[in-house]
Amino acid sequence: MSTIFFLGYKTILVTMVWGISLLIAMYATLMERKLAGFLQDRLGPDRAGPFGIFQPLMDGGKLFFKEEIIPNDSNKFLFILGPSLAMFTACMTSAVIPWGPDLNLFGHTIPLQIADINIGVLFVFGVVSLGVYGVMIGGWASNNKYSLLGAVRASSQMISYELAMGLSLIAVLMMSQSLSVKEIVQQQHGINWNVFYQPLGFLIFIICAFAETNRAPFDLPECEAELVGGYHTEYSSMKLGFYLFAEYINMFVSSAFMAAVFFGGYNFPFMDKIANGNLLAILGVAVFFAKIFFFIFVFMWVRWTLPRFRYDQLMKLGWQILIPLSVINILLTGGAIMLKNL
């Protein structure tokens, strides 16, 4: 494959993944408001365009044209860096997600993955851990006690649940013998999905994903009843939009990662019966996005169903329940692998 062709298709793939991530995050806001309206027996947005389909565009336009306010006593450089870092880390995680089987175009095999690195899982966790800094920097730089409390809550919550999330994945990695996300997906060919072997690991992972994305019932960093608006209290205009948008991008990427690691990614039953490789790739992408949309729906369903935890309950769940369960799951998986290899 020539260098020009390689750079060309990688540029197109990066642009497409970035654009689709933003588009899905944008319309996830509409989907959430519609779902909330349905669960509360009301319509939701219905004025901006047919069925309210232009509402996300109106919301984005409003944020762009709102007055830009930076507090006088804030650290202005860090105040701007906070939401930028949150948005950057949210978009970076999608680089190692395999979106479908390889395409064959113009005599070239084109992987539908931006970067197939052999430590893809570690890359995801490394980038996710950097997202803590976007929240913490924004809350501290605001020079506001409510923002600082929200940032402290957020950072302690995200760090605590990252431990349980990482431990829940170790059992999957022990089975797969690989840190490459693409190889983990390929090992789940057909319907040989990891969730059937690691149901407890998946349950722990999805609970931690709620906490990592600051979604209800773990939205303590933004608890408006106690902290006004949490770590982004002092933010306005598109800086606030970046924080809000990063939450939805993180929800999309978390759903994609769960679908890839536990639910086979682009694999689906009877896929071997499809002889055409390009048709298989297109169907694989469609199946993968169907799984992603299902998890996004679950995120929203839980938000509008369960009440918010108290903070002590949140930390107790992470440290005293999920982490010990993750360790037990690792021991059971290790024992099962040893018995299998005897």
Q: Which residue has the tokens 């993968």?
A: 288
Nearest residue to 21 via CA among 253, 261, 291, 298: 253
Containing H/E element for 64? helix 55-65
What is the structure's pLDDT at 183? 95
- Considering the entire predicted model, what is its pTM? 0.93
Where in the chain does DSSP place strands (E)? Answer: 103-105, 108-110
At 45, is the secondary structure helix, strand, or coil? coil
CA distance 232 to 146: 9
Backbone angles phi, psi at 222, to 5 degrees: -115, 25
CA distance 27 to 35: 12
What is the structure's pLDDT at 182? 94
What is the structure's pLDDT at 209? 93
Containing H/E element for 336? helix 323-341
The residues pairing with 1 across neighbouring beta strands, listed in sequence order, are none
Nearest residue to 153 via CA among 226, 81, 88: 226
Tokens matching residue 89: 């880390």
CA distance 267 to 283: 9
At 117, is the secondary structure helix, strand, or coil? coil
What is the structure's pLDDT at 227? 66
Nearest residue to 302 via CA among 230, 262, 251: 251
Backbone angles phi, psi at 229, to 5 degrees: -145, 5
What is the tally of structural domains in the chain? 1
Tokens matching residue 314: 């949140």
Tokens matching residue 108: 């070239």
Q: At what angle do helices 76-92 and 237-262 cross, to 10 degrees?
A: 30
Average pLDDT per consecutive 10 residues, the chain (342 residues; last block may be shorter): 80 92 93 92 90 92 88 90 92 92 84 90 91 90 88 88 93 94 94 95 95 85 73 89 91 95 94 87 95 95 89 91 96 93 81
The residues pairing with 110 across neighbouring beta strands, listed in sequence order, are 103
CA distance 219 to 217: 6
Containing H/E element for 147? helix 145-176
CA distance 178 to 122: 11
pLDDT digits (tens, 9 = 90+) for 130-188: 888 999 999 999 998 888 888 888 889 988 999 999 999 999 999 999 999 999 999 99
Backbone angles phi, psi at 219, to 5 degrees: -95, 40
For residue 296, the enclosing domain spans: 3-341
Nearest residue to 337 via CA among 186, 191, 190, 173: 173
What is the structure's pLDDT at 192? 93
